Amino acid sequence: MKSFLEQNISHDSLITLFSQAPIAVSLLIGDDYRIHSANPQMLELWGKDASIIGKPLFEVIPEITSQGFLDIFKKVYQEGEIFKGNKWSVFLEKYGKYEEHFFNFIYAPVYNDDKKIIGVSAVATEVTDQVLSERKWKDSEYRFEDLIKKSDYSIAIYRTEDLYIEFANEKMLKTWGKNASVINMKLEDALPELEGQPFIGILKNIFKTGETYAAKEDRADLVVDGKLQTFYYNFSYKPLKNSDGQVYAILNMAVDVTDLVIARKEIQEREKKFRDLANSMPQFVWTCDDKGEITYMNDSWYRYTGSTAGENQTKIIKKMMRPEAVENVNSMWNECIRTNNPFVMEYELEDPHHKGNYRWFLGRAVPNFSENGEVKQWTGTFTDIDEFKQLEAQKDNFLGIASHELKTPLTSLKLYTQFIKTNLEKAGDPKNAEVARRMDYQIDLLTGLISELLDVTKIQKGQIQLNESYFDFDKLVDEVVEEQQMTARHKLFVSRINKVGEVFADRHRISQVMANLISNAIKYSPEADQVHISTCLDGNDARFNVKDFGIGIPEDQQSKVFDQYYRISASRDYTFPGLGLGLYISSEIIKRTGGKIFVTSVEGEGSDFCFRIPKNKK
């Protein structure tokens, strides 16, 4: 071989050829494939240096023996076959790392003058980066294709101006009501119902303009489940362009918003019905946002005020409100917004037709909640109650006058009854004396009712007077209980946690409240035989409790027991006398004293009424 090389190719020429070749080249001689020469590119490819020259290849790179290369070299060396490898996977240990590499290579036999194979030439190019990039690209392509197929969006690709369906994911096929058999069909043939609709024309025009087309909540009539149905979509047609800027296909992405559109139309229809209903009502109907800003007023309001929808109605209402009431209304309204409780309040608004005159209105509002439980708006009304308030004032005036006028004859009647009773007892006629006593008792009841009516009229007119002074609270309790016990069949039990001592209040009015709570407890516990009364000093407050074991109060009625003329209804056939004024008068007395009155109750088990008043005025 050496003689052959020296006679045919100079050594320097061979070295120059190998070293300057742009690819890896080596020459392997003999059946042990000794490395006769290897250019720098081949040495780099193997991860070796020039010291390997003259050594057998499989001794230098033993890891390739088990990878099939020994058999390949034998076929080339023994049979003269040329072997080509394309993107061939080879595991090599290079610079201490055993890693997979990829090569394009050619192994060819080397002959002498006698046509005898004396070795193998190897030419190789490493394509590892290319293969890995292709793998990443394919993985990315597979992931992208999988993503498109499983996407929540309906996706399709149409190629050429004839709009052949090149691709459609499952979502799009479902949207069309079709299966995969429509792939490669013309869109107009696959969906003949599109004739007369604008979509085919829009798509073909994009091939001319090259501009993206998008639409929201656009209507499309499609045959799905065998019948023509109407759907609504948000969709886009995006042109796909080649390197020359020419449109070769169109990407169609769509989202079915049919349910959303139908739901909104239903909401709009309901809102229209609500507004039509609101506009037909004589009351002023309004809505506001969660901050209290008016968002809607019905037509009745605009006719009444002469304002327009473009004006700030929140400011108009506040301007119409009687100045003295603004602070209280704002306070209650802000509290309702904070707690999400319904708003109910009476207040005066200026009459826009008679400046300086005010009319009474009942304002009501309830919160409207969203699905997540947050207030999205308030719905309210203003009801004109001015005539009712005038009638109420006339009624109170009448009751005041009538009650006052009735007191004089009742006083005389009581004196005559007591005179008759005394004379009958002296005459030895106990039977008729008892009748006279009962008459006297009924006169006392009637006098009590008239006193309540007088108190109510005084409260309504702000004329109730509190004659406050210091008195012994504990002693007053004993007196009231003793007086009530004289006519009650119930046993009244009194307990004191601690001594209250002197308080500053109206002794007569506080005794009136105590007596009222005790008599109510007796009245509303017809089957019980006892009432518990307790007192204590709670901080700077004197506290008074009356607990009965009677009919109790339903939970939904407990907030009304202190309202004027409200009477507790029994669940059984009991008739309870009274006008429903006692608790109202009691609550007004306690409020004016600077205290609080409240009740806790369980229906069928009894009630616990309590008031607390400040021991000393600050």
pLDDT at residue 400, as a whole number: 57
CA 389 to chain centre: 41
pLDDT at residue 5, as a whole number: 47
pLDDT at residue 584, as a whole number: 81
Spatial separation of the C-alpha atoms in residues 233 and 592, rounded to whole Å? 66
Spatial separation of the C-alpha atoms in residues 372 and 357, rounded to whole Å? 44
Q: Which residues contact 276 (CB under 8 A, 6 or more apart)?
A: none
Residues 349, 320: contact at Cβ < 8 Å?
A: yes
Residue 569 in this model has a pLDDT that exceeds 60 = no
- Token pair in block for residue 410: 């009742």
* C-alpha to C-alpha distances, 219 to 174, 200, 254, 398, nearest whole angstrom: 17, 14, 12, 69
Tokens 């050619």 found at: 106
Residue 180 in this model has a pLDDT that exceeds 60 = yes
Q: Which residues contact 61 (CB under 8 A, 6 or more apart)?
A: 46, 48, 92
Residue 536 in this model has a pLDDT that exceeds 90 = yes
R_g of the chain, CA atoms, integer Å: 52
For 12-43, the pLDDT digits (tens) are 555 565 556 678 999 999 999 999 989 999 99
Domains and CATH numbers, the chain: 2-132 (3.30.450.20), 151-256 (3.30.450.20), 262-384 (3.30.450.20), 389-460 (1.10.287.130), 469-614 (3.30.565.10)
Of 1-5, 201-205, 354-358, minimum mean pLDDT range? 1-5
pTM of the predicted model as reported, rounded to 2 decimal places: 0.41
Spatial separation of the C-alpha atoms in residues 362 and 32, rounded to whole Å? 111
